[in-house]
Chains A and B, each alone.
Chain A
Amino acid sequence: MTFRCAAFGLVAAAFVSAALFFAGSARAEARAEEESGIPGGEVTEARGELAEREYASVNERCLRCHGMATLSYQDPTTQKTVSLAVDPEKFATSNHARMTCTNCHQDDYIEYPHVKKADRASLTCLGCHRADKKTSRFRIPIFDDVGRQFRRSVHYKALPETFDCFSCHDPHVFEVLTAEAGPAAVVNSDNAICLKCHNSQPRFSALTRHEFPSLKQAHSWLPSPSMHWRSVRCIECHTPRGGNDINHEIVRGEAVERNCVACHTKDSALLTRLYRHRVKEERQVSGLFASMLNNEAYIVGMTRSPDVDALSFFLIGSTVLGLGGHGLLRWLARRRRRS
């Protein structure tokens, strides 16, 4: 008998999952058509100034050599292999794909052999992405605070000389993932930036003499740490709350607030940061299971459907009312019988 019941349970579960699946794929298709909402519209516009041909010819010319995956040399002093390669495929999908190489790298590089040495100091992200409207070439409002935030970060404080934007971000590859990618991909891609050093002793030690901290030990207080790493970006916790969704003020682990409810709540911090790409109406979209279907990540306390909640309240309420009514009737009947 229990077997029969179990079988019924399985069948029911299969129906539910099938329903979830179909609803989910339909939703994904709809989403694919939406505009991504990445900050960066200005870059695309700036592109328009360039003649298509010029763009193509400059970049092709550079990438003919710099597209070679092994374009590199061994630095005689550090003994390290320094790569000068740009992966053309990754560049093509990067946020800077529509720029010419010479937008950043000056024209001295056009001839081979290149006359001048690369002047890395002149190349900073904020050189273009400046807050000042007048001097900024490609102002992106969300970048306005980045410089200030960065200078308050643990990285800058510990390594003011050697740590810069490029320590984390490769502008030839950097790509803000779009909504289609989904939170799991966003988490993965953003965390990869941190893990490049924080999961590799050699890279970490190349930058600093600090003891290489064990990620596992440092996060031992956290329930299901690896689950969290797969679903949450490092910076959700390791930046002060309240900053914008690309807060660059990375704080050390000791300073991090261990507050579960910061994320595990309807007003989750993740909503304004990790899920920033999710357009609002999508988050609040009505319909049974809707929000379940739209997120690959399930977060206790955050990703719940208001409709399911409402339905629950309705069911509970009607049950209570029904039972109460029944009790009242019983009481009335009894009184009548007595009288």
Chain B
Amino acid sequence: MTRRLLLYPLWLRLWHWVNALLFLSLLVTGVSLHFGSQAIPFATARQVHNISGLMLAVGWAFHVVASIRSGNVRHYIPRWKGLAGDVIRQARFYGVGIFRDEPHPFPPTAERKFNPMQQVTYLAVVYVLMPVLIVNGIVFMVPDLAVDVFNYGAIWLVAGLHYLVALFLFLFMLGHVYLATAGETVTSEFHKMTRGWVDVEEKGDE
């Protein structure tokens, strides 16, 4: 039998899509600033980038707090035991199984809505890369202070990290968008993230 589970509550969906928009905004303005392009005037790009960055930081903080309070955070924690095997299983699915129309090895459940590969990636993205990016961004926003706290040369480290993390997040975004088409059907994952619910197969072995 199937059961309809609300795995993506409204707050989470809202955050996700706002976040996606901010990513795009930061990406475009960031690239413009990075290359000193005139396509978007420097001052405008700087303004938009700063505001989007701040909103991203606020949104991230909201997400972390809400995740912890609602228990959503549990989905991000992989089962460390046998993790490598699980990830390989999932990778094998993407590399082989998906072409043979095999079933997803880790279908979403109320306890575990992400597959192991998602878990590891999201954990890294949301709890490592994003904080690093945000902290870097804030340091950039108050460079005078940063120079005092770190030192002149440290701005380089900050700039380098900001760039690299942003790059990785962009790569993640590409993968993320593509894999969103690799659900049960091409659009099923998008549905999940718009409507919030997932149909779960329940095994009747009670």
Contact = CB atoms under 8 A, between A and B. Distances in A.
Interface of A: 1-2, 5-6, 8-9, 13, 16-17, 20, 24, 184, 223-224, 226-227, 230, 260-261, 264-268, 289, 292-293, 295-298, 300-302, 304, 308, 312, 315-316, 319-320, 323, 326-327, 329-330, 333-334, 337
A330 B160 contact: no
Contact of B131 (A9, A289, A330): A9
A292 B127 contact: no
Contact residues of A: prevailing secondary structure:
helix
A20 B128 contact: no
A320 B174 contact: yes
Contact of A323 (B37, B143, B175): B175
A226 B155 CA distance: 15
Contacts of A184: 152
A6 B124 CA distance: 10
A293 B144 CA distance: 20
Nearest to B182: A330
Given A227-B147, A289-B160, A298-B155, A315 B171 contact: yes
Given A5-B124, A320-B174, A296 B152 contact: yes
B117 interface: no
Q: Across chains A and B, which 5 residue pairs bring their CB atoms closest together, nearest first?
A: A265-B36, A301-B36, A260-B42, A333-B99, A323-B178
Contacts of B76: 1
A227 B143 contact: yes
B48 interface: no
A326 to B, nearest CB: 7
Contacts of B128: 5-6, 8-9
B166 to A, nearest CB: 9
B157 interface: yes
Contact of A330 (B36, B43, B77, B99): B99
Contact residues of B: prevailing secondary structure:
helix
Interface string B90-103: 00001000111100
B22 interface: no
Nearest to B153: A296
Interface of B: 33-38, 41-43, 46, 76-77, 94, 98-101, 123-124, 127-128, 131-132, 143-144, 147, 152-153, 155-157, 159-161, 163, 167, 170-171, 174-175, 178, 181-182
B174 A319 contact: yes
A226 B163 contact: no
A317 to B, nearest CB: 10
Contacts of A304: 34-35, 163
A277 B35 CA distance: 23
Given A296-B156, A298-B159, 10 more contacts: A6-B127, A9-B128, A20-B160, A227-B144, A292-B160, A295-B156, A300-B33, A316-B167, A326-B178, A337-B101
Contact of B156 (A20, A226, A319, A330): A20
Contacts of B153: 24, 296
B88 to A, nearest CB: 17
Contacts of B38: 261
Contacts of A298: 155-156, 159
A9 B156 CA distance: 17
A261 B76 CA distance: 42
Contact of A308 (B43, B131, B143, B163): B163
Contacts of A301: 33-36, 42
Nearest to B50: A223
B4 to A, nearest CB: 27
A184 B161 CA distance: 22
Contacts of B161: 13, 16
